[in-house]
């Protein structure tokens, strides 16, 4: 699946759908400042279950109960090609900013629901484990 995004910001703060949904280069280049351990992954998994699984599914395949109601099917986070293509910084940027097309939310931002950037990095760390469960 290809997500589109014109690198622009809405007054609400998120990118809008258009050509390619790509993080700015400085965001793609970011690396995680956290140590990944069992506690990190437990926190990341809890955040994933609360904020992501309804669309991306419990195992990350894009088959959550809300996926059928989405205009765009959620990405399959178990896809090794997708995992290889995205940097940790880009995953963080995407979950932080979300994606909108006009007033329609394509992927919600978790920035307000998960205000701690360290916790969002833990979510990124958990998302990385989904490919191994393919």
Whether residue 16 is contained in a domain is answered as no
Whether residue 2 is contained in a domain is answered as no
Residue-level length of the chain:
134
Whether residue 90 is contained in a domain is answered as yes
**Enclosing domain of residue 36:** 24-96+108-133
CATH of the domain at 80: 1.10.760.10
Average pLDDT (25-48) is 98
| pTM, two decimal places | 0.83
Percent of the chain's residues with pLDDT above 90 = 69
Number of domains in the chain: 1
Percent of the chain's residues with pLDDT above 70 = 83
Whether residue 9 is contained in a domain is answered as no
Helices (H), the chain: 25-28, 38-51, 53-56, 80-85, 88-97, 117-130
């Amino acid at each position: 699946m290809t997500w589109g995004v014109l690198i622009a910001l809405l007054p609400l703060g998120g990118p809008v759908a258009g050509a390619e949904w790509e993080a700015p280069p400085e965001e793609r280049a970011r690396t995680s400042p956290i140590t990944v351990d069992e506690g990190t992954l437990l926190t990341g998994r809890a955040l994933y279950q609360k904020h992501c699984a309804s669309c991306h599914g419990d195992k990350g395949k894009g088959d959550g109960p809300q996926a059928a109601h989405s205009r765009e099917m959620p990405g399959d986070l178990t896809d090794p090609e997708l995992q290889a293509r995205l940097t940790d910084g880009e995953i963080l940027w995407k979950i932080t900013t979300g994606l909108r097309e006009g007033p329609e939310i394509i992927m919600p931002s978790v920035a307000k629901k998960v205000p701690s950037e360290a916790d969002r990095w833990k979510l990124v760390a958990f998302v990385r484990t989904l490919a191994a469960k393919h």
